[in-house]
Structure 1
């Protein structure tokens, strides 16, 4: 008998779903708020959770990562009355089993419930696979655990893998971990940086050449595709391949045969392809910049790496591990972190992800060479300023008119005009006042933008001319949600 929890603020809906669950022989219970539902889920060992999105005390998607972070996480089926494609994408990326739109009929409920319970039964019968070798991957957040699970699935097979993610998220590190946990671990792992090799040399770099194939080809060269024979070929920044090379590489993937530049005969190579990019290949394909048939070949298995801002709970562990490596590399005694140092690391958005975090830590550690403890003052000014402005913006959100200019306000006996204290000892610097006003204006703009777009991200992007990633950064920065 399975245990099912329904989290929805509509009591008749909860009672009907719970009764439906009991009628097919399982245990059903419900909660009418997110807080109560989360408490029940954390201590209830549930197999399935039906989770509503719009709740009186928050958004159901916000607790999805916490549910998936449980030692034995339940399968989560999202229920919503909103037709939000971006919300559906977010739910699936965070590990939801399904995304159902209200109104819900018994058939609509029973079909995914039957499937998910069968899936849970199959999981119980499986033998536990050996643990994955992490190969330097740090973190135990729900986002990273889900990524490692996906990586483990890919490592057991031989299909092509496409790793996507923002710059600095560790795509090569995950590709190496995939190789080291595969059956090809004792064979070569060959890296090709498609963005770093000049376009006129990339073909001979990949496929090799014979002597005299072109000016400067004084000796034959084995290409990287052949060097990866029996092992893994990692194409980093695959979106940088020229249209001509895309066409040639598609045939190589299909046939596992290629012709070195200037050669008369073809060679074979039994390699497994792992590709990576920070670009949107689907969008490039729609614009005719990337071959659709090659894209389908590349992403037999797709693994998306979460940005650091979406796994902030890993920052402490990452900072400790990176700091230890940096100290060893530079021959510096290990350092401790003051609370304000860690608080600042957590508060920053890390647009450059782990690469930016590593460079920042190295700068702080080397700069504080003889000091045993790192404080926030050791961090770059841009990071301290960014976190300070975010803190001010958050405070302004609580008192939204505190820093905004108020032309109709002419003053009072306390000396307050234009929304700030004009007494000389408290008068703000122009730069600080201007930044606060701009932040207040941005917050107002993005709030009204989402309202005008009916909270549909795609529509908001069309109205504002911004990309999704930029829009999400602004919404997170100003704490704007429905």
Structure 2
């Protein structure tokens, strides 16, 4: 017997879908608000949640990570009366099973419910029996839990994995977690930083060379592909791999064979590839700076790491974790943290993500010599300045002749209209400043992707405007 939850404010639709699913032998519950749906999902172990996008108290898409974080993790089918490609893409990337537009066809919903439940049962049956090794990965925000689930799934196969995300989000840590949880964990973990490859030595570093094969080759050297035999080859910043080498490396991926420079014989290497990038490889493919066939080979499995501002519930855990590590490393008593210090960490946008937070903690501890408790004054100056600028308004009220503030008598619009006009102008400026780059716009505004898309749609702002 499977449990299904339907969350939609259209009671007639809920009743219709409930009746259909009951005839298929499922246990079905319904809720008409997001808060009631979340409460129900936390009380009962549902196998499937059918979730509307627009609910009286919030967006189903924005709440999707909350449902994905509930154990045992239910499958999610998004339904909407106002579908758009961006929302559909975001839903699928966040882990939804499907995205269905209203009016709903009973045939389609029945098919998708059946398929999703079959998938859920197989996934539950095949879940690893041991705990995931995640030594240096701190946090349990919903988006992080989804990424860790992908790590567990990827570790069970030898399929290439592409880890994407902004600089400082911890891509190498996740690559190491995939290796540590795989059947190759006893083998080597070889790191190749593609951004630091010298142009003239790329082939030698990758494939190796024989003595005397070129000027300066005084002795033979194994390349990183051979060094990764029986283990994992981690190619960091794979978008920087020279295009002249990409074709040769694609053949290695396909054949697991290669020829060192100056050798007449091919060698074999049984390695598993994990690649990482903070660049948009799909755009690079369109521009011709990255091979399309290699791109599709790399993206067999994709783990997209969230920026730190999208997992703010993890900031306190991360801060306390690294305070403890750095204090032990320096041989000092672990310092306390004031509420104001933690509030400052929560309020900052962290454009450098976890790496910037770690550096900020390191600086704060260095500045706190002789103090037992960290306060905002100990933070790096650039962070304190950024936080202060956000709290200081730029508007200045004119002062009258008598020294009192002058009050200008103007006709004021309703507050709702004024706020909407301000929001509309802000979004226009945001799109212009970021050249319609959605990740940058989300980082500056603090909005989630779905929140930004919803506002752009509300004010009819085209991303190309």
TM range (shorter): 0.7 to 0.9
Partner of 1:49: 49
How many corresponding residue pairs?
Answer: 443
CA RMSD between the two structures: 2.9
Partner of 1:104: 104
Partner of 1:455: none
Partner of 2:310: 310
Gaps in structure 2 of 5+ consecutive residues = 410-419, 456-465
Gaps in structure 1 of 5+ consecutive residues = 394-402, 420-439, 451-459
> Among 410, 425, 428, which residue is 1:445 paired with?
425
- Structure with the bigger RCO (C-alpha within 8 Å, sep 6+) is 2
Please report the TM-score for the alignment, with normalisation by the length of structure 2.
0.87
Distance 1:127 1:6 in 2: 26
Is the Cα–Cα contact under 8 Å of residues 308 and 353 in structure 2 kept in the other structure?
Answer: yes
Q: CA deviation at 1:24?
A: 2.1
Aligned pair in 2 of structure 1 residues 418, 158: CA closer, same or farther (>3 Å)? farther
> Among 472, 475, 479, which residue is 2:442 paired with?
472
Aligned pair in 2 of structure 1 residues 199, 146: CA closer, same or farther (>3 Å)? same
Q: CA deviation at 1:411?
A: 10
Distance 2:288 2:386 in 1: 38
Q: CA deviation at 1:234?
A: 1.0
Bigger drift between 255-264 and 346-355 goes to 255-264
Q: CA deviation at 1:128?
A: 4.9
Distance 1:414 1:55 in 2: 48
Distance 1:351 1:385 in 2: 14
Partner of 2:88: 88
Q: Deviations over 1:273-321 (max 9, x none)?
A: 1111111111101111100111122222221112111211111111111
Partner of 2:248: 248
Distance 1:413 1:104 in 2: 66
Task: Specify the SS of the correspondent of 2:191.
Answer: strand
Q: CA deviation at 1:111?
A: 1.1
Is the Cα–Cα contact under 8 Å of residues 74 and 120 in structure 2 kept in the other structure?
Answer: no
Partner of 1:430: none
Partner of 2:204: 204
Is the Cα–Cα contact under 8 Å of residues 332 and 369 in structure 1 kept in the other structure?
Answer: no
Aligned pair in 2 of structure 1 residues 284, 411: CA closer, same or farther (>3 Å)? farther
Q: Residue 415 in 1 paired to residue 395 in 2?
A: no
Q: CA deviation at 1:35?
A: 2.2
Partner of 2:234: 234
Q: CA deviation at 1:412?
A: 11
Partner of 2:36: 36
Q: CA deviation at 1:216?
A: 1.9
Aligned pair in 2 of structure 1 residues 224, 174: CA closer, same or farther (>3 Å)? same
What are the equivalent positions in structure 2 for 1:296-335 lying under 5 Å apart? 296-335=296-335
Aligned pair in 2 of structure 1 residues 444, 387: CA closer, same or farther (>3 Å)? farther
Distance 1:283 1:447 in 2: 24
Q: Deviations over 1:402-425 (max 9, x none)?
A: x65799x99999624579xxxxxx
Task: Specify the SS of the correspondent of 1:89.
Answer: helix
Aligned pair in 2 of structure 1 residues 58, 236: CA closer, same or farther (>3 Å)? same
Please report the TM-score for the alignment, with normalisation by the length of structure 1.
0.84
Partner of 1:150: 150
Is the Cα–Cα contact under 8 Å of residues 77 and 99 in structure 2 kept in the other structure?
Answer: yes
Distance 1:411 1:210 in 2: 87
Q: Deviations over 1:18-74 (max 9, x none)?
A: 222222222323222222222222223322221111122221122222222222232
Task: Specify the SS of the correspondent of 1:187.
Answer: coil
Q: CA deviation at 1:121?
A: 3.4
Q: CA deviation at 1:122?
A: 3.3
Distance 2:429 2:43 in 1: 40
Distance 2:67 2:319 in 1: 25
